Structures are given as structure tokens and as C-alpha cells.
Amino acid sequence: MTRRPLAGALLGCLLLLTSACTDSEGTNDGGYIEGDSQIAQIGADQRKEAVELSGETLDGEQLDVADYRGRVVVVNVWWSGCPPCRTEMPMLVEAEQELAEQDVAFVGVNIRDSSRDNGLAFERGLGVEYPSIFAPGGEALLSLAGINPRTIPTTVVLDREGQIAAVISGPIPGKVTFTDVVEEIAAEGA
């Protein structure tokens, strides 16, 4: 008779430990950390070395952000199962079209989907035409020093030299605010 209470106690401890691990890792029910959508701009004199970000895209092509040197590059970290990513992606698609004249490139980094098909379906459904690096383990983000790759979405704006000029942890606060920041960074090297 003492086995049932002991088994119940063990099960309770296991559930408590499991939920405590989830809480202590800072993840919510979706398995990601939501940012606060604040834009942190980094002054030109405070930027670190150029980012070295490369990998295979969802389409199976090789992409190296260094090939975009001389252009401002918007790097958006996303996952198809992330509700804030779904909300912000249409704004990013519109921003890409608006900023094309200013020689701004967009690159996505898919860090959570288990298959390329999920990511491709997400992009097709939302009209995304720019490439996305497929990095389900997040290894492609190691070069983005100073950002938390578990915060999804995260958007990083690289200046024309490939240095991090702005970081948005969480969904972009709005298309106009976002494009204003990108245009300001683009004007630095014009």
C-alpha cells in the first residue's frame, strides 16, 4: 500500500522537475523566448567586426552574407511555428519591397523547423521571396555576437561593412518604424 503514494510522489516530483526545467530555461509554451520589440541601435564607432554568417538555404543553395558587403543587410531569425513570426513576416515582405531601391538585402535564418518543407511552406504562404538559411540547430547564429538566438523572432540590421548596427529582439514594432531605422543605417554609407 505504500507503493502507490510513493509512486504518486515520484511522479509529482518528476512533473515538478520537468516544469521547473522549462521555467528555468526561460522558455514559454512555444519553446521560445519572446522579446520586447525594442530597437537597439549601435553607434558606428561602437560596432564590432563584420558578421560571418553563412549556410545552406531552404532551397539547398549556399548563402554567405559576406557576398552582400557594400549593402545594408536585414537578417531575420524566424521559425514557422512562432506566432509573432507569422505576424511580423508580412511587414518584412513589404519592407523588403520598399527598401529594394536603397540597395538593402534581406536574409532569413530558420532556426527551429525540423524540415525544409515546413519553412518553404511558411515562406510561400506569406510571399517571402528572399533566401533563408536553414539552421535548425541555431549554429548559423554563433557569429551574431550579442543577440540571444533563442529569442524568436529577432531581426538584426547589418551596415554596409557587415557590422551589427541594430537589433530588434522580438517582433518588429511596426513597418514604418523598422524601415526608418534601416533607411538611417543605409544613409550612413551613402
Q: How confident is the model at residue 9 (pLDDT cuts 50, 70, 90)?
A: very low
Q: What is the pLDDT of residue 77?
A: 94
Average pLDDT value for residue range 132-159: 83
Decide if pLDDT at 11 tops 70.
no
Query: Which pairs with CB-CB distance under 8 Å and at least 24 residues apart come from 17-22?
Result: none
Average pLDDT value for residue range 118-136: 97
Task: Report in angstroms the alpha-carbon separations of 87 from 43, 135, 176.
Answer: 29, 21, 15
Decide if pLDDT at 92 tops 60.
yes
* Higher per-residue pLDDT: 142 or 7: 142
Closest CA to 35 of 190, 183, 154: 154
pLDDT digits (tens, 9 = 90+) for 41-87: 999 999 999 999 999 999 999 999 999 999 999 999 999 999 999 99
Q: Percentage of the chain with pLDDT > 70?
A: 78
Q: Quick one: cell of 133?
A: 538559411
Look over the chain and give the mean of its residue pLDDT values, rounded to a whole number.
82
Decide if pLDDT at 26 tops 80.
no
State the DSSP H helix or E strand holding residue 165, giving kind and residue range, or none if neither.
strand 164-169
Q: Give whichever of 71-75, 99-103, 148-152 has the largest mean pLDDT.
A: 71-75
What pTM, to 2 d.p., does this model score?
0.81
Decide if pLDDT at 3 tops 70.
no
- Strands 104-110 and 132-134: what pairing? parallel
Q: Using H for helix, E for strand and C for coil, what is the string for 63-118? A: EEHHHHCCCEEEEEEECCCCHHHHHHHHHHHHHHHHHHHHCEEEEEEECCCCCHHH
Decide if pLDDT at 102 tops 80.
yes
